[in-house]
Amino acid sequence: MEVILKEDVTKLGHRGDVVKVADGYGRNYLLPGKLAIEATAANKAVIEQMKGSAVRKSIKEKAASEDVAKQLDAVELTFERKVGENDHLFGSVTSGDIAQQLEALGYTIDKRKIALEDPLKQLGEFHVPVKLHREVTAHVKVTIKSDAPDEVATPAA
């Protein structure tokens, strides 16, 4: 099945590309998700107009993404979690947790744009990439601390 992409799809193509995909993938995912339209003769004629507007839209999105990236580079998120032996966390910090805390700060970012390969499972400081646009990536500083109070108090003798 040939489809015309209406949005960028990871590992498939960019907006405006005509790609050949499996029938099920097209019918069950791309078309209902409004990520693509069928590549008919009429739609191929419309695609030329879409490409022009897509270029203009991409330029605007890139500029907006660069502004947000500058703001996100200054953001520091702190998570407090229960910790076991060797500073391993009970549970983890996921891209969903990061997206939720960013939203609390006023940034609406889809958790799928947070490029966290594996959930964070140790204490420390991490720089997590956030892919805002195909050419713009911001880095958010994430600090994970123990939620246990520091046991530094010495007993009175």
111-129 pLDDT, tens per residue? 888 888 888 888 889 999 9
Predicted pLDDT at 110: 86
Whether the pLDDT of residue 141 is over 70: the answer is: yes
Using a pLDDT cut of 90, give the percent of the chain over it: 19
Do residues 10 and 54 share a domain? yes
49-105 pLDDT, tens per residue? 767 777 788 888 888 888 888 988 888 999 888 888 777 788 888 999 999 999 998
Q: Which helix (H) or strand (E) holds 98?
A: helix 95-104
Whether the pLDDT of residue 1 is over 70: the answer is: yes
Q: Which pLDDT band, with edges at 50, 70 and 90, does 149 fall under?
A: low
Q: Which helix (H) or strand (E) holds 38?
A: strand 36-38
Do residues 9 and 29 share a domain? yes
With respect to residue 140, please indicate whether it lies within any of the assigned structural domains: yes
Q: Which pLDDT band, with edges at 50, 70 and 90, does 7 fall under?
A: confident
Q: Which pLDDT band, with edges at 50, 70 and 90, does 23 fall under?
A: very high
Q: Distances from the Cα of 86 to the Cαs of 27, 90, 126, 127, 146, in angstroms?
A: 48, 11, 18, 21, 12
Whether the pLDDT of residue 14 is over 80: the answer is: yes
Domain with 127 in it: what CATH number? 3.10.430.100
Do residues 55 and 76 share a domain? no
Nearest-CA neighbor of 67 among 149, 19, 136, 156? 136
Do residues 77 and 121 share a domain? yes
Do residues 43 and 107 share a domain? no
Instruction: Print the domain residue range for 96.
Output: 70-146
With respect to residue 130, please indicate whether it lies within any of the assigned structural domains: yes
Domain with 39 in it: what CATH number? 3.40.5.10
Give the count of domains, the chain.
2
Do residues 113 and 56 share a domain? no
Position with higher pLDDT, 154 vs 32: 32
Predicted pLDDT at 150: 57
Do residues 93 and 50 share a domain? no
Structure tokens at 43: 């739609």
Do residues 55 and 74 share a domain? no
